[in-house]
Amino acid sequence: MIFSELLPFYSLFSTMKQLVFLLLIILPMTQLKTQPAEVLAAFQPGQFTSSTGHQLPYRVLWPVGYKQDTTHRYPMVLFLHGAGERGTDNQLQLTHGAALFLANQTAYPAIVVVPQCATEDYWAQMEKDTLGNRFFNFDEVPNPSLAAVTELLNQFLQTEQTDPERIYLMGLSMGGMGTFELLARQPQTFAAAVPICGGTNPALVPIYGTQVPLWIFHGTDDGVVEVIHSRRVVAALKRLGVATRYTEYPGVGHGSWDNAFAEPELLAWLFSHRRQQ
């Protein structure tokens, strides 16, 4: 058989090799974003429409036996995911953190709400210049997804069995930035907050710094959201005389949330706080 006759087979073989190579890259990425069946089953889906018409998918982990005793009030945790989990599927936002609350559901029964930011939106008002430097704005009106989160939070406070003195806020990366911004917008709502590898404008810290206990986390080698952003917040808190809790992981990159979620005292610290009157 001459080479010209073999050429179609060679081209087919080359194409198949390329497809296999792409599958080897894509499949692990897909698996990373696949939610465990037990997490999807435990976190019930919901859809919220804000006063401006913005659609906000969300998931809720209800305490075991919720509403069997209508006089009981539960703590509530609002969890803000990172930029990689934005979308409309109402699943991706459970990638990080959801399993932590499910595993500790008996020890720390709480209403855990995990909304999903729109694909083209961002929890915090943040801009980046051509060098990658981040700048945090603070307009009167928040971004659409965060504005919807605020309305959803208020709805839960009004209609569900929440303990208004035990409302907690947690977020990672983009969600860490959203945590700081939401604290500045509603400083009297939250009993404690956990921003992980986030950032904010340090000028906003005095709005909530003396009111809300914080446990801040960051990795020293974070190449996505530089550690300087958390250090600036801690420095601003120190200027206020606040001895906040700050954990910095040497040699850890952007995924410092894994380290934070493994902290044995994390949930005990979070749920120990009540809102200051």
User: What average pLDDT does this structure show over 29-42?
Assistant: 75
Confidence of residue 67 (pLDDT cuts 50, 70, 90): confident
From 219, 196, 163, select the one nearest 80 (Cα to Cα): 196
User: What average pLDDT does this structure show over 46-71?
Assistant: 95
Q: Which residues are registered as beta bridge partners of 172?
A: 196
- Answer with the residue of higher pLDDT: 176 or 11: 176
Distance (Å, whole) CA 227 – CA 237: 16
pLDDT above 90 (res 16): no
pLDDT above 50 (res 97): yes
Q: How many CB atoms sit inside 10 A of residue 87's CB? A: 16
Helix (H) or strand (E) segment spanning residue 237: helix 228-239
pLDDT above 80 (res 5): no
Q: Is the Cβ–Cβ distance between 230 and 210 less than 8 Å?
A: no
Q: Report if pTM > 0.75.
A: yes
From 254, 202, 248, select the one nearest 226 (Cα to Cα): 254
- The least confident of 22-26, 57-61, 106-110 is 22-26
Confidence of residue 31 (pLDDT cuts 50, 70, 90): very low
pLDDT of residue 2: 52
260 token code pair: 């934070």
Task: Provide the residue ranges of all domains of the chain, joining segments of one domain with +.
Answer: 1-32, 35-271
Phi, psi of 238 (to 5 degrees): -65, -35
pLDDT above 80 (res 152): yes
Distance (Å, whole) CA 252 – CA 241: 28
Confidence of residue 133 (pLDDT cuts 50, 70, 90): confident
- The least confident of 137-146, 213-222, 248-257 is 137-146
pLDDT of residue 33: 63
pLDDT of residue 129: 85
CATH superfamily to which 35-271 belongs: Alpha/Beta hydrolase fold, catalytic domain (3.40.50.1820)
The mean of the pLDDT values for the chain is 90
pLDDT of residue 24: 40
Give the dihedral sign, CA 22/23/24/30: positive
Distance (Å, whole) CA 208 – CA 54: 27
Buried b (16+ CB within 10 A) or exposed e, 162-191: bbeebbbbbbbbbbbbbbbbbbbbbbebbb
pLDDT of residue 35: 82
253: CB partners within 8 A, 6+ apart: 219, 221, 222, 223, 224
Q: Is the Cβ–Cβ distance between 195 and 180 less than 8 Å?
A: yes
Distance (Å, whole) CA 144 – CA 205: 22
